[in-house]
Chains A and B, each alone.
Chain A
C-alpha cells in the first residue's frame, strides 16, 4: 500500500503561534516515531508510539511539544508557542512491530518559524 505520508509539506508560521503536524503511517504498522532534523544535522529522536501509547517520549525538547496517536494510526505532533529554534524538518517513521526494525520514513514537514 501507500508509504508514510506527512502534512503539510511546508509550514511557515510566526513566533508564538501553535502548529500541528500530521503523520499517516503505513497501514498495519504498530510503531510510529517522530524525529527532528535541523539544517545539515543528524536526526534527533522526539517520541515513539506503540499503538496509541508513548513508551518513550524522552526526546521531546520542552513542554511546548506534545504528540498523540489515535486509532493506532494517525499521529499529530503539536508545538505550542513556537520559537525560531523550532525551525527544522520534522520526520515521521513507522515500523511493523517495534523500534529495532526497519523504519519507513515520510517525506517530512519543513517548519520555518519567523
Chain B
C-alpha cells in the first residue's frame, strides 16, 4: 500500500489564489520530499524537509511537517497557470532503501 496519501486528489483554482495540498504517511521518516510532474513524464524535485524541521520555504512554496500527526502540507502562493501539474509527496523511511511516493494531487490553475 502507498505510504503517502495526498488530498485532495484534484484541485482547481484561479490564477493568483493559493493552493494547499496535504500528505499523510504511516511510518517514521528521515525526511519528506515534494515533487512535481508535468504531463505524466519525469518528476522534478521541489523541496525536502527533514524530520526535525517543522517548516521550510522555497520561493512561492511553503512546506510544513507535523511528525506527531504524520502529515505534511505544501502551499503554493499566488498560483500561476504554469503551476498546473501533479504534485507528489515522497517519504524516506528510517533505515529504508527507497522513497515511497503518495498517490498525488492534480492541480489545475485556470486563467
Interface residues of A (CB under 8 A from B): 4, 33, 35, 37, 39, 41-43, 45, 48, 55-56, 59, 89, 91, 93, 99-108
Bound-state CA distance A55–B102 (Å) is: 23
Could you say which residues of chain B place their CB within 8 Å of the CB of A39? 40
Quick one: closest B residue to A93, CB to CB?
Answer: B43
Q: How far is the CB of B81 from chain A (nearest CB, A)?
A: 21
DSSP majority for the B interface? strand
Interface size on B, residues (CB 8 A): 23
Q: Is the CB of B101 within 8 A of A108?
A: no
Q: How far is the CB of B94 from chain A (nearest CB, A)?
A: 9
Q: Is the CB of A99 within 8 A of B96?
A: yes
Bound-state CA distance A56–B88 (Å) is: 22
Q: How far is the CB of B35 from chain A (nearest CB, A)?
A: 8
